[in-house]
Amino acid sequence: MKYILLLLLTSVILCLPQNTYACDVCNIYEYKPYNTSGNYIGFFYHLRKFNGYKHLDQSHNFFGRDPKMHDFEGSGVFLEREQQDYEIYQTVAARMNLRLGNKVNLLLIMPYEFIKIHNETVWSYVDPVNDTTMVLQGQGDLITALDYSINFGKEGNKHTLRPGIAVKWPTGVYNKKNAEGRSFDPEIQPGTGSIDFIFRLNYLKLAKSGFGQMASLNYKVNGPTQQSYKFANSINGQVDLFYQFDLMLERFLVPKIGIYAETSGYNTWNGECDKLTGGSTYLLDLGLDFQVKRFTVQALYQPVLADFRNGKQIGNAGRLNLGLIYAW
């Protein structure tokens, strides 16, 4: 199975043009249960943070930043970045996975989005300008997915391959407006107003020794939104290694480590390419699951390994994913 893992990771790397935008978080977050033969219901929390500018030689920091001042291209205008510009995307999602027969899984994901965009103070000697903060929230887009389980392997080494497809429906809010009655940009709306397709491939290996491997590869094809805006197609992939510590009495502790990568091209608006969108991001997976009988608590922290965003975009600062799952 190491060849399947290698193929998945290689596919991700080879497909990465040096070109991400904030809505890459709209791609599906793959929860990979160890109990592949059962149903589950879960509640998840996802936090994505963006800060720091590469063209200003600023690094990204998930836990905060030090105050800094930057001369804005020597023009007499300064950007005061006491907290720095930042973007915060939070998602609370309910999930239900139902086994249909022995091989088919039906997955439903219903997200609710909280979004905050902050541009720190921009001022000059002559005409100070206050900072700007945009806060919006609303129902995200419903996702329905089907996959087919292919089980194989020798005794003591169980392998499961799950190809599938997901559809993201235009059920979320996509026309939020500010106090002046102007619509926020499509990139930061809770929903998109488009029908999108996600082609999925998941792999899971469970060994009798306690060691295991997980991998996933998703390709998302985005349709046009209601605002004549089209998000670029995107791809993400993930490879994790884990070990199941048997604590007895149906309790397990499962640490994991791995790599996650995602990429997208340029978005378009009314057919014109938006050069301040698109890019590639590589994240480290540091996770821990704690399972007690039918309940599992999951935590996955993803610091940034490398970030290549087109133009003068704000950078990825890391992600945090939490989950509470009940299986039956």
Residue 21 predicted with pLDDT over 50: no
Q: What is the pTM of this model?
A: 0.84
**Region 107-120 average pLDDT:** 89
* pLDDT confidence of residue 313: 85
* pLDDT confidence of residue 99: 92
> 33 vs 183, which has greater pLDDT?
183
pLDDT band at 325 (very low <50, low <70, confident <90, very high): very high
**Region 321-327 average pLDDT:** 95
Which range scores top for mean pLDDT: 18-32, 76-90, 129-143, 293-307? 293-307
Asked which of 7-11, 140-144, 153-157, 311-315 is least confident by mean pLDDT, the reply is 7-11
**Region 284-310 average pLDDT:** 95
* pLDDT confidence of residue 130: 55
pLDDT band at 263 (very low <50, low <70, confident <90, very high): very high
> 254 vs 53, which has greater pLDDT?
254
* pLDDT confidence of residue 133: 79
* pLDDT confidence of residue 252: 94
Q: How many angstroms from the chain centroid is the CA of residue 291?
A: 24
Asked which of 105-114, 202-211, 294-303 is least confident by mean pLDDT, the reply is 202-211
Asked which of 87-96, 223-232, 282-291 is least confident by mean pLDDT, the reply is 223-232
* pLDDT confidence of residue 305: 96
pLDDT band at 84 (very low <50, low <70, confident <90, very high): low
* pLDDT confidence of residue 24: 39
Give 174-232 pLDDT, tens digit per residue: 999 877 788 888 888 999 999 999 999 999 999 888 999 999 999 999 998 877 889 99
* pLDDT confidence of residue 12: 37
